[in-house]
Structure 1
Amino acid sequence: MFSVEPKKRVALLGLMLESNSFAPVTGRDDFLKRLYVAGEEFRAELNRSESKVPAELLSFCATMNSTIEWEPVPILIGLVEAGGPIDHEFFEEVLVEMRARLEAAGALDGVYICNHGAMITTQERDPDGVIFSMVRQIVGPDVPVVATLDLHGNVSDRMVEMANVIVSYQTNPHVDMVARGKDAADALNEMFYGLRPAAAIIRLPVTPPTVTLLTETGPYADLINYGQTRLGPDIVNISILGGFAYADTPKNGLAIIVTARSGKQAAQRVAEDIARYAWKDHERYVPRLTTLEEAVARAVRSGQDADSEPVILADVADNPGGGANGNTTWILEALVKSGAKGAVLGIFNDPALAQEAMDRGEGARFRAVFNRVEPDSFSRRFEADATVLRIRDGDCVGRRGFYSGRRLNLGTTVLLDLGGVQVVVVSIRTQCADPVFLEMMGIDIAKARSVIVKSRGHFRAGFDEFFRADQVIEVDAPGLSSPVLSRFDFKHLPRPVFPIDRDVTWPRS
C-alpha cells in the first residue's frame, strides 16, 4: 500500500503599513478603505480574479499550488497606503485577533508572513518584530516561518531571529513582488524537506533618501546587482533593504540580510563582503533635486513650445506612498500663476472638494477651494476658478507597474479644469503610480505637455511608456516625504547616520 503524505498546512498573515512618524495616525478606517480581511473572507479575497491582496502573497500561493499538496490557512491580512504610525490600541486588537486565529488553526507545518517592514505604532517602534515574535511563540521553534518585506522595510535583529528566511523586494519601482513570493514559497518547500538555514544581518549607519534607492541606475542599483553575484549553492537568499528613514526607529539603516544553508558563519562572511561594498559607495546617497522655480519653468516652456519635449514632474515631497497627504499646493499654485498650458496634475487628495464638484455636476463652474480645512502646515489653502469636466466613482484596476492587475478604489474622483491646468481630485489618499488614474478621467496622457504626479518613484514603472528617464524632474518642494532628511526632527535614528550627518565612520569602534 502506498501512503499518502498529508497536506502541508501553512498559515498566511500580514499587516502592511509603511509608517511616516511625521504623518497623521493610521487607524482602523484607513485599513478598511483598502484591505482588511480575516478567515474565510481572506480566503475569498485570495480567489478573486482582481484581488486586493498583495501580489507577493498571491504568487506565494500560486507557487505552492504548483509544487506541493498543501492547505492554506488564512489568518488575517491588512494593507493600507503609507501613512502615520498605526494607532497602538488598534494594533493590539489586530495582534489579539491574529493570535486567536493562529491558536485556533491547530497544527501548522509552516507560516508565511507578508509584511511591509517599516511599520511603527503610536507606542511601539518595532511592531513587525512583535508580530514575528508572536508567531514564533505560538508555532514553536521547529515550524518554518518565512516572510517577505518591502525593500523600504526597517529590519530588527528580533525579526531575523524569529523568521527562518526573510525575502525582500529587489526592484524599485516595485515590480518584482511575484518573483519574491515565489522565492518565499521555494524556501519554505525546501525547509519541509530538511533545510534549516541560518541568517546574518549587518546594518550600516546609512539612511538613504527614498529618491536614491532606484534600482535601474545609481548606488542602490549597483549594490543590489553586486549582492546577487554572491548567490551560490550555499546561499538561500540575499536581501538588501534601503529602509525607510521617516519611520524614525533605532533599527533604521541600510540592512544586508544573508541566509545560508550551512550555518551563520557562512552567512556572516557574505554579509560582511556586501557591507564593505555598500560602505565604499555611501556618499552617493545624497539626493539631487530640481528647484520648484526651475521645474515649473520647464513645464511652462513645454506648454508654450510645441518643439519642446513634454516633461513629468514628480512631487516627491508629497508622496502618499511615503506617508504624505497628497494635497500640497506648491506646484499647483505655481503652475496656475505662471499660466502653464497643457498641464495635468494627479492625483490630489481632497474629499471635500471632490464631493462639492460631484454635487455641482459636470459642466459646473465654481470657485474651487483646495484644502479648505488645512490638515497640516504643508497642506495650505489655494483657490482657483474651475470647471467640472468629469465625475467617476474611483473604482479601477491598475494597468501598469506597481498597481498592475490590482483592484483599487480612489473614492469619488473628479477632473477639474483650472484653465491651462487640469487636476484629478480623489477622495481616498493614493499615490499616482498608474496612468489609469488619469486615463479613467478621459485624459490622453500622450497629448499632455506636462504631467505632475504625487509620487516618489513608482510612477516611473507606470508612466515610462510616455516619458523617458531624462524627461523626469524630481521637484524640491515642501512636504512630509521630502528627500532632504535634514529638514526633519528625528528622535530615534541611530546617530550619527549618513547623509543627515556627514562625519560618519564604519565599522564603528
Structure 2
Amino acid sequence: MPHIAVARLWFEANSFAPEPASLEAFKGREWIAGDAALTTYRGTATELGGLEAFLAERPHWSATVLRCTSAQPGGPMEDRAFATWWEEVSAGLASREWDGVYLSLHGACLTESEPEADLAIIRMVRGIVGPNTPIVASFDFHANISPELAGLLDGASAYRTYPHTDMAECASRALHLLERAIGGERLHASIVKLPQVLHSFHMRHQSGPMAEVWEMAKALETPDLPDVTIFGGFAWGDSPTAGPSAFVWGVDHAEARATARQLTDAIKSRFPRFAVNLPDTKEGLARALAAPEGLVALLDPADNPLSGGACDTPELLRTLVDAKLEVETVFAFLHDPAIVAEATKAGEGAPFRASLAGRTTPAFGPPVPFEGVVEKLTHGSFLNEGPMEAGAPVDLGPTAVLRTGKLSIIVTSRKEAAVDPAFFTLHGIDLTRVRLLANKAKNHFRAAFQGRCSAIVECDAPGPAALDLLRLPFRYVPEAWRHPVG
C-alpha cells in the first residue's frame, strides 16, 4: 500500500513587477491541506483534481496532502511567505518515511532572495527524504528549467496546452511516473536548454511554431520514452536558467538525450517565427473597432496578471477614456482595494470621482482622472466555467463596476485574471451586448473567448511584461539571450 506525500507551490514570478507576492496573496487564493484539498478540488481541471482522480482509481494508495498554495503571478515571492510554506511542508516530510513524493510546482518561481526557487525546493525535499525515495513533479509549460533537476527527480511532466487546459492530465502523467518508480523501475532524465529568451505570444498549442514542436514531442513518446516534454520558459523571470528547454524521460539515457536535442533543435529552427510586433494602444483600438461585427477583444499583455502584471498600468485605460467611445465597452480590470472600498461606501448608483491606475508605481504613467457613477458592487466569488481550471473557486474579494458614458470599468480587491466567462457574469455584464472588451490578458484569454470574439487584437503598452526585454534590469539572464529573435 504506497503512501505518498503531496505538496504544492504554484507561482510564476515577474522580476520586474512593482509589488512582491505576499503571504496574504497566497492565503487569499489557495491555502489548503489534508483531505480538504482533495474534496475541494475533486472533479476540477487542476493538478489537485488530477491527484484526486488518480487516487480514486487506486484504493490501495493513500496520500498525505501537506500545505498546498498558489497565487496569481506577480513580483518575486516574499521570503516570509516562502519560509512559512516551507516550514510546514518540511516538518510534514520529516515526520515519517514515504513511499514517494509528488510536488505540484510552477517552475518559474522566484523569491526575494532565491532566483531558482523551484530548484531550491526540490533540493531541500531530496535532502529530507533521502536518495532512495522517488520524487516526481508537475510543472507549468512556462517553467525556466534547470538541468540539475535531471539528477534530483524520478519523473516529471508539464502542461501540453497553452492556454493551460490540461493541468489535471499533467498531474496524472507525473503520478504515473511515480507509480513506475515506486514499482522499482528506474528511468533516465535528459534536459537540454537553449540560450535564448522567447516571448510566448506564438507558443499556443492550437497553431503556430510551438504547436508543431508539441506534435513532434507527442509522436516521439513510446513505452520506453514515457514522457517527452517541452518548455517555452518565462521571459520576465530573471533566472539563470531562463528560456526554452526539453525534458525527456526514458529507459535508455542516450535515447532520452538524443530526443531532447531533437526537440530543442526543432524549437531553434523556428526562432524567427516567435518574433512579435504589436501596435500601440491607439492603433490597437482603431484595429479593434474596425473588426467585423460582434464582440471584439483588445488585449494589454504588458500588464497581464498571468504574466505578473499588477493590473494597475494606465495606458490602455487612458486611451479608452480619451476616445469617448460610442460603443458598449468593458475594461477588465484594475486591482485596487482602496477604490473598491470608496465605491462601496458611495453605494450603487452614486456619483464617483477618482484617479484610477498608477497606484503601485509611476513608472508606467500617471493615473487617469475618472468621473462617473458606481454601476455595480459584488461579493467577488464565483466558480470558473472553464475550460481553464474549470470548476475551481475564485475569490476576487469585494468588487465594483464604475461607469462613464459607454465605458464600464471593473475594479477588484484581489488580483485574479479575467479569463473566464463567469468573471463577467458576476458583474452583471452580458457580453452579447458588448462591442469592445479591453482586457489585461494574453493567450489564456483565448481558451474561453476565441470562439466568442470576432477578433482579438493585442497591443503593447508600458508595463512589467512589455515586449522590449533589453530595457529591463536583468541580473541573471545573460544580455545576449534577451535580443529579439527573427
TM-score by length of 1: 0.91
Shift of 1:300: 4.5
User: Aligned AA for 2:124?
Assistant: M
Q: Are 1:257 and 2:247 an aligned pair?
A: yes
Shift of 1:44: 1.3
Q: Are 1:492 and 2:483 an aligned pair?
A: no
User: 1:49 and 1:103, CA in 2 relative to 1: closer, same or farther beyond 3 A?
Assistant: closer
Match of residue 268 from structure 2: 279
Aligned mates of 1:330, 1:94 — CA distance in 2: 36
User: Aligned AA for 2:347?
Assistant: G
Aligned mates of 1:93, 1:431 — CA distance in 2: 25
Please give the residue correspondences for 1:210-359 in structure 2 after superposition, counting only pairs within 5 Å: 210-261=200-251, 263-301=252-290, 308-340=293-325, 341-359=327-345
Give yes or no for contact 2:302–2:461 (8 Å, CA) kept in 1: yes
Percent identity between the aligned chains? 29
Q: Are 1:63 and 2:75 an aligned pair?
A: no
Deviations 1:288-336 (A, max 9, x none): 323212212234556xxxx744410111111111111112221122112
Deviations 1:9-28 (A, max 9, x none): 01000211101111121121
User: Aligned AA for 2:458?
Assistant: E
Aligned mates of 2:478, 2:335 — CA distance in 1: 34
Match of residue 29 from structure 1: 24
Give yes or no for contact 2:14–2:237 (8 Å, CA) kept in 1: yes
Give yes or no for contact 2:104–2:138 (8 Å, CA) kept in 1: yes
User: 1:226 and 1:484, CA in 2 relative to 1: closer, same or farther beyond 3 A?
Assistant: farther
Aligned mates of 1:197, 1:372 — CA distance in 2: 51
Give yes or no for contact 2:16–2:75 (8 Å, CA) kept in 1: yes
Give yes or no for contact 1:43–1:74 (8 Å, CA) kept in 2: yes
Shift of 1:265: 1.4
Q: Are 1:457 and 2:452 an aligned pair?
A: no
User: Aligned AA for 2:305?
Assistant: P
User: Aligned AA for 1:284?
Assistant: R
Q: Are 1:414 and 2:400 an aligned pair?
A: yes
Match of residue 4 from structure 2: 10
Match of residue 507 from structure 1: none
Aligned mates of 2:294, 2:433 — CA distance in 1: 11
Shift of 1:397: 0.7
SS at match of 2:20: coil
Give yes or no for contact 2:45–2:390 (8 Å, CA) kept in 1: no
Give yes or no for contact 1:211–1:483 (8 Å, CA) kept in 2: no
User: 1:274 and 1:298, CA in 2 relative to 1: closer, same or farther beyond 3 A?
Assistant: closer
User: 1:332 and 1:499, CA in 2 relative to 1: closer, same or farther beyond 3 A?
Assistant: same
Give yes or no for contact 1:210–1:456 (8 Å, CA) kept in 2: no
Match of residue 4 from structure 1: none
Aligned mates of 1:351, 1:115 — CA distance in 2: 29
Give yes or no for contact 1:374–1:381 (8 Å, CA) kept in 2: no
Aligned mates of 2:283, 2:103 — CA distance in 1: 45
Match of residue 162 from structure 1: 152
SS at match of 1:401: coil
User: 1:62 and 1:316, CA in 2 relative to 1: closer, same or farther beyond 3 A?
Assistant: same
User: 1:33 and 1:267, CA in 2 relative to 1: closer, same or farther beyond 3 A?
Assistant: same
SS at match of 1:404: coil
Deviations 1:363-395 (A, max 9, x none): 111213213744342263111211111110101
Give yes or no for contact 1:298–1:311 (8 Å, CA) kept in 2: no
User: Aligned AA for 2:312?
Assistant: N
Q: Which of 375, 378, 382 does residue 364 from structure 2 map onto?
A: 378
CA-based RMSD of the aligned residues comes to 1.9
Moved more, 202-211 or 109-118: 202-211
Shift of 1:501: 7.0
Q: Are 1:20 and 2:14 an aligned pair?
A: yes
Aligned mates of 1:9, 1:137 — CA distance in 2: 19
Where structure 1 has 5 or more consecutive residues not aligned to the other structure, the ranges are 1-6, 503-509
Shift of 1:345: 0.9
Give yes or no for contact 2:23–2:80 (8 Å, CA) kept in 1: no
User: 1:160 and 1:418, CA in 2 relative to 1: closer, same or farther beyond 3 A?
Assistant: farther
Aligned length: 484
Shift of 1:117: 0.8
Aligned mates of 1:309, 1:89 — CA distance in 2: 47
Deviations 1:61-102 (A, max 9, x none): 311320351111111111000011112243234323221111
Aligned mates of 1:9, 1:160 — CA distance in 2: 24
Give yes or no for contact 1:167–1:184 (8 Å, CA) kept in 2: yes
Aligned mates of 1:482, 1:177 — CA distance in 2: 27
Deviations 1:450-480 (A, max 9, x none): 1011112111112234115xx0101111111
Deviations 1:252-299 (A, max 9, x none): 1201001002x3212101111112212111122211323212212234
User: 1:196 and 1:379, CA in 2 relative to 1: closer, same or farther beyond 3 A?
Assistant: farther
